[in-house]
């Protein structure tokens, strides 16, 4: 299975040709899902005792299966949070696989971890956290949030030994991503929602939520989670106000910037994140707005040692990794995963190749596209802006439409292979949501999508 033969050489050429064609195609076919039975009927069973052959399997993937997927980097894919990995990053994703590096410990991964850390150094510099801060790449925002919250809980438990067996409580707001509640469930922690009339979590609202906790709950409070760019609307919480309260109350502040983190590099909006430099931990997803392929998240800690205290795994067969000769940065010590891919490598190569200025420009373009779209919506007779563009997200309504009209419109555009734009809701009403990531999305793309709403 591992020997190199001519078939493998041919196979490699086929795969490389596909890869090169795919990454040079800026408007890949917008595929749509098909029923599993239907796919099975077309391709048949693919796992057999003898194997179906590489050429055959690859053909099935290329001609049938990949067409039942949506390319996330399509310029008219504005649904959820799209992505637009750079060609350099994609190519280096292949190199990462080909190099077979174990990314848990410096002993085995030194050169690769060095690269990841170079990229991380830039990410950390964007946050303006103090010198003690550093971070590690994770499988995504969910894993980064869980890693940060586990570290926070450990700190809280160690501060007061009477909390050893108590359930922990975190406070967050409605704008927080679903992964916060879901990871709290994994940790068996409780989640309290800070209620407020405002569209963001403010220092005052947090102040009164804490004041309203009974004595027991106040003692159980181990973290506050603020959001640096809500996934639904791109709204940034009042990080300065929230950080002040957390500092005074000695509560761990986690800022979830999984989507919005890229905008820390955008001078036009950087001031909206002021206060983030006081966070205890921050999540950023390079696979969202930093043009990395899936999957790549990042968790950054103000004090890396606290993360190590919570995450470093102990085991007889792991001790060797910690001997003198192998000393260095061990990514496994700072997040929930042990064996890991060097998932920050594609980002490193792309950053090294293009330089950080190109990244800043590409992120600014996403923000600019959202503002351009907002202006076009305002000029359109049948459309109505719900709120100004925030980061690269725009919410608006089609006058007179009900929930099912939005849904039908989404399916029609998708079925025709034209665009993937999905509705969302805002204050209980259906809206259309654009999220711009791909700097290659054009004004014409926006015009063409808006034209389907005439
Ligand atoms: C996307 C997102 C997450 C989850 O990240 P994954 O990479 O999908 O695990 C968490 N928080 C926010 C704010 C997000 O936008």
pLDDT tens across 192-248, in order?
999 989 999 999 999 999 999 999 999 999 999 999 999 999 999 999 999 999 999
The pLDDT of 6-13, averaged and rounded, is 82
Is pTM beyond 0.85? Reply is yes
| pLDDT of amino acid 9 | 84
Q: Is the pLDDT of residue 1 over 60?
A: no
pLDDT classification of 27: cutoffs 50, 70, 90: confident
Q: Which of 388, 371, 128 is nearest to 240 (CA)?
A: 128
| pLDDT of amino acid 43 | 97
Q: Is the pLDDT of residue 327 over 90?
A: no
Ligand 1 centre distance from Cα of residue 142 (Å): 6
The pLDDT of 104-119, averaged and rounded, is 95
Phi, psi of 42 (to 5 degrees): -75, -45
Mean pLDDT of the chain: 95
Four-way CATH pick for 93-354: 3.80.30.20, 3.30.750.210, 3.40.640.10, 2.60.290.11 = 3.40.640.10
The pLDDT of 291-319, averaged and rounded, is 91
Indicate the domain borders of the chain: 2-30+33-69, 93-354
- Which ligand 1 atom is at minimum distance from the Cα of 231? 15
Ligand 1 centre distance from Cα of residue 140 (Å): 7
| pLDDT of amino acid 12 | 86
Q: Is the pLDDT of residue 325 over 80?
A: no
- Which ligand 1 atom is at minimum distance from the Cα of 257? 13
What is d(CA 136, CA 318) in angstroms, rounded to the nearest whole number?
20
DSSP type of residue 293:
P
Q: Is the pLDDT of residue 65 over 60?
A: yes
% of residues, the chain, pLDDT over 90: 90
Q: Is the CB of 142 under 6 A from ligand 1?
A: yes
Phi, psi of 401 (to 5 degrees): -90, 145
Q: Is the CB of 141 under 6 A from ligand 1?
A: yes
| pLDDT of amino acid 6 | 73
Q: Is the pLDDT of residue 322 over 70?
A: no
How confident is the model over 140-150, as pLDDT tens digits? 999 999 999 99
What is d(CA 235, CA 390) in angstroms, rounded to the nearest whole number?
6
How confident is the model over 238-296, as pLDDT tens digits? 999 999 999 999 999 999 999 999 999 999 999 999 999 999 999 999 999 999 999 99
Tokens 């990462």 locate to: 96
225 versus 324: which is more confidently predicted?
A: 225
Ligand 1 centre distance from Cα of residue 69 (Å): 21
Ligand 1 centre distance from Cα of residue 177 (Å): 7
Q: Is the CB of 140 under 6 A from ligand 1?
A: yes
Q: Is the pLDDT of residue 10 over 90?
A: no
Half-sphere exposure for 198 (CA within 13 Å, toward CB): 13
DSSP notation for 323-373:
SGGG-S--GGGGSS-SS---TTHHHHHHHHHH-HHHHHHHHHHHHHHHHHH
How confident is the model over 155-187, as pLDDT tens digits? 999 999 999 999 999 999 999 999 999 999 999
59 versus 326: which is more confidently predicted?
A: 59
| pLDDT of amino acid 11 | 84
Q: Is the pLDDT of residue 382 over 60?
A: yes
Phi, psi of 96 (to 5 degrees): -60, -45
**CB atoms inside a 10 Å sphere around CB 402:** 11
**Ligand 1 pocket test: which of 79, 146, 179 has the largest number of ligand atoms within 8 Å of its C-beta?**
179
Structure tokens at 297: 């998240």
Q: Is the CB of 201 under 6 A from ligand 1?
A: no
Q: Is the pLDDT of residue 323 over 70?
A: no
The pLDDT of 411-420, averaged and rounded, is 95
% of residues, the chain, pLDDT over 70: 97
| pLDDT of amino acid 5 | 74
Structure tokens at 276: 């983030």
| pLDDT of amino acid 266 | 98
Q: Is the pLDDT of residue 46 over 60?
A: yes
pLDDT classification of 315: cutoffs 50, 70, 90: confident
| pLDDT of amino acid 8 | 81
| pLDDT of amino acid 4 | 61
The pLDDT of 331-357, averaged and rounded, is 97
Q: Is the pLDDT of residue 2 over 90?
A: no
């Amino acid at each position: 299975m591992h020997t190199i033969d001519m078939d493998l050489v041919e196979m490699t050429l086929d795969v490389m040709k596909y890869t090169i064609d795919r990454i040079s195609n800026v408007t890949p076919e917008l595929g749509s899902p098909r029923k599993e039975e239907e796919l099975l009927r077309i391709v048949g069973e693919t796992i057999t005792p003898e194997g179906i052959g590489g050429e055959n399997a690859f053909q099935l993937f290329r001609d049938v299966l990949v067409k039942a997927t949506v390319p996330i980097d399509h310029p008219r894919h504005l649904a959820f949070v799209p992505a637009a990995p750079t060609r350099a990053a994609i190519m280096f994703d292949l190199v990462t696989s080909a190099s077979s590096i174990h990314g848990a410990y410096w002993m085995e991964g030194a050169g690769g971890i060095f690269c990841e850390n170079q990229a991380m150094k830039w990410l950390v510099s964007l946050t303006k956290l103090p010198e003690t801060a550093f971070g590690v790449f994770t499988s995504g925002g969910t894993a980064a949030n869980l890693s940060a919250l586990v570290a926070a809980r450990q700190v809280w438990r160690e501060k007061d030994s009477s909390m050893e067996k108590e359930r922990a409580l975190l406070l967050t707001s409605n704008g927080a991503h679903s992964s916060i509640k879901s990871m709290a469930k994994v940790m068996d922690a409780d989640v309290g929602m800070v209620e407020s009339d405002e569209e963001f979590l403010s220092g005052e609202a947090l102040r009164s939520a804490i004041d309203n906790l009974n004595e027991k709950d106040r003692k159980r409070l181990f973290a506050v989670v603020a959001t640096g760019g809500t996934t639904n609307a791109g709204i940034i919480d009042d990080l300065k106000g929230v950080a002040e309260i957390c500092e005074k109350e000695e509560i761990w502040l986690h800022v979830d910037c999984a989507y919005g983190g890229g905008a820390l590099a955008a001078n036009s909006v950087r001031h909206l994140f002021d206060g983030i430099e006081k966070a205890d931990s921050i999540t950023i997803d390079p696979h969202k707005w930093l043009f990395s392929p899936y999957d790549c998240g990042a968790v950054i800690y103000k004090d890396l040692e606290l993360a190590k205290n919570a995450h470093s795994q102990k085991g007889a067969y792991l001790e060797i990794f910690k001997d003198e000769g192998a000393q260095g940065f061990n990514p496994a010590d700072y997040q929930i995963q042990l064996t890991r891919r060097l998932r920050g490598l594609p980002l490193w190569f792309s950053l090294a190749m293009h330089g950080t200025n190109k990244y800043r420009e590409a992120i600014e373009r996403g923000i600019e596209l959202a503002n351009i779209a907002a202006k076009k919506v305002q000029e359109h007779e049948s459309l109505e802006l719900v709120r100004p563009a925030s980061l690269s997200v725009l919410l608006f309504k089609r006058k007179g439409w009900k929930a099912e009209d939005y849904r039908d419109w989404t399916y029609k555009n998708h079925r025709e292979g034209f665009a993937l734009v999905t509705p969302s809701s805002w204050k209980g009403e259906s809206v259309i949501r654009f999220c711009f990531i791909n700097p290659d999305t054009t004004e014409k793309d926006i015009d063409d999508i808006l034209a389907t709403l005439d």
